[in-house]
């Protein structure tokens, strides 16, 4: 179980980093920093998300979503095997 978790953790980390690198040219850090400093907490996330091109985010995060689904499916199979063996 730990080997599987380590494998998927490494894959998810790598794919998240790739997603961030794909999006970083479209993100304006100064504007995000200004929002964080000037907005109350309930409005920050919405204000920041309005700055980001949603299609780019979705495209960049697709591989991460695939890995997440694979990890859950693998975990479910391992759990079922452990229950069956018990």
- Give the number of domains in the chain: 1
pLDDT at 10 over 80: yes
- Domain extent, residue 31, equals 2-85
Residue 26 Rama label (left phi>0; alpha psi -120 to 50; beta)? alpha
Q: What is the Cα–Cα distance from 75 to 71, expressed in whole angstroms?
A: 6
With bands split at pLDDT 50, 70 and 90, how would you rate the model's confidence at 70? confident
pLDDT reading at 2 higher than 80 = no
Query: If you average pLDDT over residues 54-73, what whole number do you get?
Result: 79
pLDDT on residue 55 = 64
pTM score of the predicted model:
0.49
The Cα 66–Cα 49 span in angstroms is 22
In the DSSP assignment, the letter for residue 28 is: -
Tokens for 74? 């693998």
């Amino acid at each position: 179980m730990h080997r599987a978790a380590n494998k998927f953790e490494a894959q998810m980390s790598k794919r998240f980093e790739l997603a961030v690198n794909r999006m970083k040219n479209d993100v304006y850090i100064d504007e995000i920093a200004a929002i964080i400093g000037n907005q109350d907490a309930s409005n920050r996330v919405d204000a920041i998300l309005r700055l980001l091109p949603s299609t780019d985010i979705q495209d960049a995060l697709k591989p991460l979503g695939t890995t997440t689904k694979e990890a859950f499916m693998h975990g479910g199979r391992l759990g079922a095997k452990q229950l069956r063996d018990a």
